[in-house]
Every structure is written in structure tokens, then in C-alpha cells.
């Protein structure tokens, strides 16, 4: 740490305390000129990147996921709190599973699984965009899978 007064590189920490979130405030004393100064240390976060289908990488963006989920839930009996819980669940799973990069497919599947538990219509809406349904047969296949799954749960 360079002294802001004499530019010497040797100093000692006189006092250290935490402030704000993940920030440490340190009082230092320059060993050359004896003057004191304050430094702040903050954890440097490396942002999580999403690897898209085309191979490009974009920063993980919770708001982008929110936009897709809200569109899927439009005019459905789903509260803002439920949407927030879905986003929390997806974000938690992503950060718990990956450090630097996450495939967009993984994020989409996590959203699908969360929506499937909350509202099946919203799930099908989201899946139709996320999985790029080409025609009505894709919808029918997904609905048949949902029916089979729910009939197994009822047994």
C-alpha cells in the first residue's frame, strides 16, 4: 500500500474494523513519514457469466429472468411474492452450482422446474419460448408429459 503523502510502500495497520457489507476499514501508519491514512478493502466479485446457445457470454441478469417469468405469468393467479420466490430459488441454485459460467440451458430448466410447481399454464408459456416450440405438436407433447406426471402423482 503506497503512502498517499510520501509514496513509500511500507505501512502498518493501526486499527481495523468492518463497515458496510463486506468492506473493511483500515487505519494505517506509514513507516517512512509516520503519517496516518485510511484504506478500505472490498471483496472483488467476479460476475457470473451465462453461456448462450450461440456460445456468446453475457453477465447473469436476474432482471432478464424476471422479465421472462412475468411474461409467462401474465394474467395468471401468481403473486409478485411467488415470482420473487421463483427468482430467489433459481438464482440460489445457479450460484450454488456454478462459479464463473453457467449454461443458459441450465438457467432455463431451473425456471421451468420452478414454474411447473407454481402454475402449469405459466410453465407451458415459458417453455414454449425457452424451448422454441415450432408448432402445436410441441405443445401437445409437453402437455402429455405434464398429464402423465400429474397422473403418477395422483396414484
Mean pLDDT calculated for residue range 28-33: 96
Position 6 in a domain: no
Least confident of 9-13, 19-23, 27-31, 126-130: 19-23
Residue 52 grid cell: 448462450
pLDDT of residue 1: 83
pLDDT higher than 80, residue 137: no
The whole domain housing 18 covers 11-42
Return mean pLDDT, the chain: 88
> In this structure, are 64 and 25 located in the same domain?
no
Q: Are residues 78 and 146 located together in one domain of the fold?
A: yes
- Stretch 58-86: mean pLDDT: 95
Is 61 in the same domain as 36?
no
Band (100; pLDDT cuts 50, 70, 90): very high
105 plus 35 within the same structural domain: no
Q: Where are the beta strands (DSSP E) in the chain?
A: 11-19, 23-30, 36-42, 49-51, 57-59, 101-103
**Residue 111 is assigned to a structural domain of this protein:** yes
Q: Is residue 134 part of a domain?
A: yes
**20 lies in the same domain as 38:** yes
What value does the mean pLDDT take over residues 46-61? Answer: 93
**Domain-located, residue 4:** no
So what's the pLDDT on residue 151?
A: 67
Segment 21-41 mean pLDDT: 91
User: Treating both helix axes as pointing N-terminal to C-terminal, what angle do 80-97 and 62-72 enclose, rounded to 10 degrees?
Assistant: 140
Kindly state whether residue 1 falls inside one of the protein's structural domains: no
Co-location of 62 and 82 in the same domain: yes
Mean pLDDT of all residues in 95-113:
93
Q: What is the Cβ-side half-sphere exposure of residue 69, based on CA atoms within 13 angstroms?
A: 31
Give the predicted TM-score (pTM) of the model: 0.64
DSSP state of 59: E
60 shares its domain with 96:
yes
How many structural domains are present in the chain?
A: 2
75 and 117, same domain (yes or no): yes
Tell whether 71 is covered by a domain.
yes
Q: Quick check: is 83 in a domain?
A: yes
Amino acid at each position: 500500500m503506497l503512502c498517499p503523502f510520501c509514496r513509500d510502500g511500507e505501512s502498518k495497520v493501526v486499527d481495523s474494523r468492518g463497515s458496510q457489507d463486506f468492506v473493511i476499514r483500515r487505519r494505517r501508519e506509514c513507516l517512512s513519514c509516520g503519517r496516518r491514512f485510511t484504506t478500505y478493502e472490498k471483496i472483488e466479485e467476479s460476475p457470473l457469466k451465462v453461456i448462450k446457445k450461440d456460445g456468446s457470454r453475457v453477465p447473469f441478469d436476474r432482471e432478464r429472468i424476471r422479465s421472462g417469468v412475468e411474461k409467462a405469468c401474465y394474467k395468471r393467479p401468481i403473486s409478485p411474492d411467488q415470482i420473487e420466490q421463483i427468482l430467489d430459488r433459481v438464482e440460489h441454485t445457479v450460484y450454488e452450482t456454478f462459479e464463473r459460467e453457467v449454461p443458459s440451458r441450465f438457467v432455463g430448466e431451473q425456471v421451468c422446474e420452478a414454474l411447473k410447481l407454481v402454475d402449469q399454464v405459466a410453465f407451458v408459456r415459458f417453455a414454449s419460448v425457452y424451448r422454441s416450440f415450432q408448432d402445436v405438436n410441441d405443445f401437445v407433447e409437453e402437455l402429455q408429459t405434464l398429464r402423465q406426471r400429474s397422473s403418477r402423482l395422483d396414484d
